[in-house]
Chains A and B, each alone.
Chain A
Amino acid sequence: MMLLRAIQNAFARLAQVWLQIWSQIWFAPSATAPLELARIGLGAAVLSHYALATPHLTAFWGDAGWMPRQLLEKEYDSPLVQSLLFYVTAPWQLVAFHCVFLICCLALMLGWRTSWVKWLVLIGQISYDHRNPMFFYGVDKILAGLLLILCFAPIGRALSLDRVRAVRAAKRVRLDATVAVFSSEWAGACTRLMQIQMVVLFFYSGISKMAGDDWRYGDAVWAVFTTDEHYSEFILGVFAHHYWLVNLATYGTVLIEVAYCFLIWQRGTRPYLLGAALFLHAQFAFLMGLFYFSFVMMTGHMSFVRPEWLARLGAWWRQRIGDLEMIYDGRCGFCVRSMAWFLAFDGLAQIRVRDFRINPSPVVSDAQMEKALYLVLPDGRALPGFEAYRYVVLRVPGLWWQIPFFYVPVFSRLVGRPLYNWVAANRSRLSSMIIMRPKPQQ
């Protein structure tokens, strides 16, 4: 009886240890930043790729195009191969489908309504692939795998418009409110899935190369550049006179692909392997013209970027730019709403705010503040209104998308300054036009 209990206990302890290891591997809480980088990259890649296909829409996926419907029956023997485009018959339906898909890709890239838009992008991508299987190229295979993992993942919680909306909602209640960085066990699990996907891909790619004579004898890269698809007179000339480069590139490719699978997991070696993999794909992009493939692969590698690297990068940027203080009129509802919207893009929390009505600034007088919002720079200088915004958009990464509006030579200042001055002069009237007034500052 005692022995039985001892065995039971031993098994229970063993199970406990296994459970701990399993949880450590899969469910360590993690921020979504690496997955968000992948989301942005994949969204941009799919958007640009399919947008460029727009002129050939009916040729590629239409019934009178390259893949007539009757040929599809010869391609597939499984009812599980499904595509929304199987049910599209009229050209206008195809155009509508394409437009909706492109909008969804844009939304995925920007992180707008990400929780359901990601599924629409996956469905669209699979639909295009299945409707015309002749396009199913290496990059589409990778996309299929990575998009599905993104669909599982709780993305849109950082570096996204969804995050901006959440922060804005908090800041409309209280301008100095902060929203904690999202982190969860499931985000950690999905990051791990994407990492495993990349490692499996590199592993099979590496070992399948080892089985071929071209790769074993170090000639594969020469063979690649002699094919019509990747032919380059210049590169062949260089390689022919320095054949050691061919050997180096051939063996280097296999070495990186195989080493990646084993050394990418270690803290010390990860940056080197990640750098090597990115370098490899940069070569594929620029020497072989495989831009789309390489970009998607690089996006997948982003799953190995540690959230703390990004945090360190953010801290470095904050330190480099220095402390920024925006002074605003807390009594002006329009100003508070605008500030909430503006600050929602400040993901690195670089800008401090001060309501001059309850906390007067030692740098800017109240009389000045009545006329415009002010930005106090780290060196003590104060910039008013339009110039304040202009200064900030260049230094806050979340606002970089506004740079084109603020930095068009001559035009931005010519239009921006009077526009800002008019808004500032009429801010009371604008505030009264806003039905939903902001909640009072606490």
Chain B
Amino acid sequence: MVSEKLRERLAYVAMSAIVAWHTLAMVIAPAPDSDVTLLARLALQPYLTFFRLDNQWDFFAPTVGEGSRLRYDIQDKSGKTHAFLPADELRWYHPNFLWFRSWYYRIIDDPDNYAAAAAAVLCRKHAALGPLAITFYEIQEEKFTREDYLSGKQRMDQGFFSVAMLRGMRCPDP
């Protein structure tokens, strides 16, 4: 029979262990690599991975960087090409804005793995055009300064972006 006092002490120790452990996890997860943090990670990593706590908290840092956009061209049966800037269809106030952009960024970052799945989805979406092939491009924005703005230039004027082809492929058979 465990006495009331012993039970209280055990509860206190257990609560202390939980708060110490979780606090350590919160502090170590975003910390830069060092001998100490790597040692702590040996114990904490399973916990961080399982609960998705391994985060850096480096929003817009250290640099904001330039943006990039996805463009895809669909070639139809008659050989005509239709260009699409899918981000233009999104509204900033809707969560779609985040979800769809995340998908576009993933295609830009890793076309070898993600372009095929995206091609299947997008060719299905534009089935009315009779799509034969699809080509993905990245529109990489260049720096746009205050002086550029004051001299009357527009963000998407020539010289403030570059276009790179990511991958082209045939549309899968419907």
Contacts and interface: CB of A to CB of B under 8 A. Distances in A.
Interface of A: 22, 26-27, 49, 52-53, 56, 59-60, 64-68, 71, 74, 78, 80-82, 126, 129-130, 134-138, 140-141, 144-145, 148-149, 152, 185-186, 189, 192-193, 196-197, 200-201, 204-205, 208-209, 211-215, 220, 222-224, 226-229, 231, 236-237, 239-240, 243, 246, 289, 291-292
A205 B18 contact: no
Contacts of A215: 61-63
5 contacts: A64-B120, A189-B19, A208-B57, A209-B61, A224-B60
Interface in B65-100: 65-69, 87, 92-99
Contact of A289 (B57, B93, B120): B93
A138 B59 contact: yes
Contacts of A60: 99
B48 to A, nearest CB: 9
B64 A223 contact: yes
Interface residues of B toward A: which range?
Answer: 35 or more
B30 A220 contact: no
Contacts of B59: 138, 205
B117 interface: yes
A62 to B, nearest CB: 11
Contacts of B66: 227
Interface in B88-129: 92-99, 101-103, 105-106, 113-114, 117-118, 120-121
A362 to B, nearest CB: 51
Given A214-B63, A228-B87, A185 B15 contact: yes
A227 B141 contact: yes
Given A134-B106, A222-B146, A56 B99 contact: yes
B64 A291 contact: no
Interface in B39-68: 46, 49-53, 55-68
A94 to B, nearest CB: 16
A214 B63 CA distance: 6
Question: Which of B46, B58, B66, B87 lies at the interface centre, i.e. has the most chain A CB atoms within 10 A of its CB?
Answer: B58
B58 A137 contact: no
A81 B49 contact: yes
B55 A141 contact: yes
Contacts of B144: 226
A193 B26 CA distance: 9
Contact of B22 (A129, A193, A224, A231): A193
A88 B105 CA distance: 26
A22 B16 contact: yes
A71 B61 contact: no
Contacts of B117: 65-68, 71
Nearest to B144: A226
Nearest to B146: A240
A214 B60 CA distance: 10
Contacts of A82: 50
A229 B59 CA distance: 14
Contacts of A66: 103, 106, 114, 117-118, 121
A190 B114 CA distance: 41
A189 B15 contact: yes
Contacts of A130: 52
B62 A209 contact: yes
A134 B70 CA distance: 15
Given A145-B53, A229-B67, A240-B150, A71 B22 contact: no
A53 B95 contact: yes
A185 B94 CA distance: 40
B27 interface: yes
Nearest to B103: A66
A144 B51 contact: yes
A197 B57 contact: no
Q: Lowest 8 A-B CB distances belong to which pairs?
A: A212-B62, A227-B67, A289-B92, A223-B64, A208-B61, A141-B55, A204-B57, A228-B67
B163 to A, nearest CB: 13
Given A78-B49, A193-B22, 15 more contacts: A22-B16, A65-B121, A66-B103, A80-B50, A134-B106, A189-B18, A193-B19, A201-B30, A201-B57, A205-B59, A209-B62, A220-B63, A226-B155, A228-B69, A236-B149
